[in-house]
Amino acid sequence: MRAPGAPGVIQLTNDLPTVTFVITSFNYGRYLEQCIQSAVDQTHRSEVIVVDDGSTDESSDVLNAFGSDIVVINQNHEGQGAAINRGIAAATGDVILLLDSDDWMSTSRAELVAQEFANDSTVDWLVHNVSVLAEGRDDRWQALYTFGSADQLLTDLLQVGDTWATTSGLSFRKEFLEKLGPIPGDFNIYPDCYLLCSAILMGRATILDEALTFRRLHDSQASGQRRLDRNQAIRSINMKHQLSERVGNLASADPQLPRCLANRATWWQAKAGLQHTKCRRESTRREVVQGWARLVRAVLAEDMPRARKALMVLRDTGLVALPRREYPVIWWLMHYGRPRWLHSWTDRIAVSVPRTR
């Protein structure tokens, strides 16, 4: 808890909940030692669970070197979502802190996060600031992801279907994660999106205005891939649709949540539905046109500048006119396959601006 009149100062007590770090890794052996060491060196004694998702690099040597300081769980290559599920199931801590294996932390992360949960028993989950460092690039690529308020998280979800939080900035009470249930198989890519959207709708969040983790940007990440992969594009499209359905179902079950989410009436839900329909082999042309019409209506109903509405309608009209087989390829190119010089320029803009809404 921040002391009145003393921004940035956190009052600590000795009665803190127990903490478990869940680290998931696949072929990130070159980063793994720094990541695990930052967990082992925490000022608040913590359980450290590392789930290896079938790595074939030097990861096993790195893990073995830590001996009894960590708990290692090996699985076949089933994806990050399955790895997180296994880590959560094995965790014994009251609070679970997630960490990607290519990131690392301040040694005070466990203590400060545990204190926030100790201060307020009604808090289900927490997000804190994250420092961002782009590997192999100059200081202009450094940035800080920050968050305005817990209420802003829901606003982000309403407006764009996502929020800026990253896996390594998330912490949850274990009992709340058990309430959310395991991450479905459709979310083995970007499982943090599933956790975030579910938590925003089902739990009470708090924001910790401290940069406690360091996120590393590099070309090996899924978001940094440039190789054209049609199947990966289809999986991403299906994941976005499943996320939209998850949000809609949760909103339908809670009358206090916005009805537009329950009715799948936001532009991003309509877009996810159209993309999914366009990729399904059994979809008819009529269904695609109906999905396009729903998207146009949703965009026009949004509170945004007319020029942006017009651009969105034109873009999606052009995409929906593409043959079904070519659609995932063009979708992938628009999201991940921009020329390197253009991707570098847009990424620089992304990491140069603080993520505060």
Is residue 96 domain-shared with residue 189, that is, in the same domain?
yes
Is residue 164 domain-shared with residue 243, that is, in the same domain?
no
Contacts of 315 (CB under 8 A, 6+ apart): none
Average pLDDT over residues 22-32: 95
Is residue 323 domain-shared with residue 291, that is, in the same domain?
yes
Instruction: Give the pLDDT band (50/70/90) at residue 136.
Output: low
Per the DSSP assignment, residues forming a β-bridge with 134 are 217
Tokens of residue 10, six digits: 């956190």
Percent of the chain at pLDDT exceeding 90 = 65
Backbone angles phi, psi at 129, to 5 degrees: -65, 155
Q: Establish if 199 belongs to a structural domain.
A: yes
Q: Establish if 319 belongs to a structural domain.
A: yes
Q: Establish if 350 belongs to a structural domain.
A: no
Contacts of 21 (CB under 8 A, 6+ apart): 39, 42, 46, 47, 48, 49, 96, 97, 98, 99, 110
Domain extent at residue 237: 230-336
Query: Which CATH number is 160's domain given?
Result: 3.90.550.10
Helix (H, G, I), strand (E, B) or coil at 10: strand
Q: Establish if 88 belongs to a structural domain.
A: yes
> What is the spatial distance between Cα 265 and Cα 271, in angstroms, rounded to a whole number?
10
Which pLDDT value is given to residue 230?
80
**Of residues 148 and 305, which shows the higher confidence score?**
305
pLDDT for residue 198 is more than 50: yes
Per the structure, the count of domains in the chain is: 2
pLDDT for residue 101 is more than 70: yes
Is residue 178 domain-shared with residue 302, that is, in the same domain?
no
Q: Establish if 10 belongs to a structural domain.
A: no
Contacts of 324 (CB under 8 A, 6+ apart): 278, 279, 281, 283
Q: Establish if 97 belongs to a structural domain.
A: yes
Is residue 60 domain-shared with residue 163, that is, in the same domain?
yes
Residues listed for the chain: 357
Residue that is last in its domain, among 158, 189, 224 = 224
Window from 231-235, 328-332, 346-350 with minimum mean pLDDT = 346-350
Q: For residue 47, how many other CB atoms are within 10 A of its CB? A: 18
Residue that is last in its domain, among 224, 246, 275 = 224
Is residue 219 domain-shared with residue 110, that is, in the same domain?
yes
Is residue 258 domain-shared with residue 300, that is, in the same domain?
yes
Is residue 184 domain-shared with residue 312, that is, in the same domain?
no
Is residue 260 domain-shared with residue 238, that is, in the same domain?
yes
Is residue 172 domain-shared with residue 197, that is, in the same domain?
yes
Is residue 212 domain-shared with residue 267, that is, in the same domain?
no
Backbone angles phi, psi at 355, to 5 degrees: -85, 55
Q: Establish if 4 belongs to a structural domain.
A: no
Nearest to 266 by CA among 192, 197, 180: 197
Is residue 208 domain-shared with residue 238, that is, in the same domain?
no
Nearest to 187 by CA among 329, 75, 79, 50: 79
Percent of the chain at pLDDT exceeding 70 = 85
pLDDT for residue 163 is more than 70: yes
